Structure 1
Amino acid sequence: MRLPCPHCGERDLREFTYKGADLPLPEGPDWGPDWEAYLHLRRNPAGETRDLWYHGPCGSWLSVTRNTATHAVAESRPAREPGS
């Protein structure tokens, strides 16, 4: 599988480290049902997902939208870009 880095172009998967699902953090610092669900109650359906990846050679965090069944990449952008 190849992933597109917005800074370096399309690169081999071995240059990246998977860091987990790119999900919004629950509001507030207190433990509660929202944090419980965020940490422990995730669905894992086949299909489109958004993940966080770290690209070691350029030190970038990326938000990658891809299909888990086909590995087709729909989008890759810097993880802290507005709207990501």
Structure 2
Amino acid sequence: MQLIACPWCGEREEIEFHYGGQAHIAYPDDPYALDDEQWAQYVFFRDNPKGPFAERWVHAAGCRRWFNALRDTVTHEFLAVYDVRDQPPLTPSSTPAEQRRKGQEAS
């Protein structure tokens, strides 16, 4: 079982949390001015990178507060958690998990 660090409650089991999608998606300034294609782009289309990715999470079975997390989509490792009002932390060029994996490949 994976542990996720809630910014307010500390580390808890992953079963207490729910994924909320990609972080830092701005709501349209004038949603009524969008045509169907633009609205579909806003609602359904999200990034799907390989590596660090900013996501929204809620501690549903705990404090019920939303927070953002920077998670590696390859290893599922949580690299950082931060308040929803903050910008994502800077990411190193490679995560510790990637460094370990590269070390194993070189052996």
Question: Counterpart amino acid of 1:73?
Answer: F
Aligned to 1:29: 31
Aligned to 2:74: 69
How far did residue 20 of structure 1 move? 1.0
* Cα distance in 1, alignment partners of residues 64 and 54 from structure 2: 19
TM-score calculated relative to the size of structure 2: 0.64
How far did residue 36 of structure 1 move? 3.9
**What's the CA shift string for 1:28-80, capped at 9, x where partnerless?**
3331565443223333122111111110211110111110101121211222x
TM-score calculated relative to the size of structure 1: 0.78
- CA-based RMSD of the aligned residues comes to 2.0
Change (3 A) 1:43 1:78: closer
Q: Which residue among 48, 55, 80 is the counterpart of 1:44?
A: 48
Unpaired segments of 5 or more residues in structure 1?
Answer: none
Structure with more helix by fraction? 2
Unpaired segments of 5 or more residues in structure 2?
Answer: 89-107
State the number of aligned residues. 83
Provide the secondary structure at the position in 1 that maps to 2:31: coil
Aligned to 1:20: 21
Provide the secondary structure at the position in 2 that maps to 1:51: strand
**Contact 1:26/1:34 (8 A) holds in 2:** no
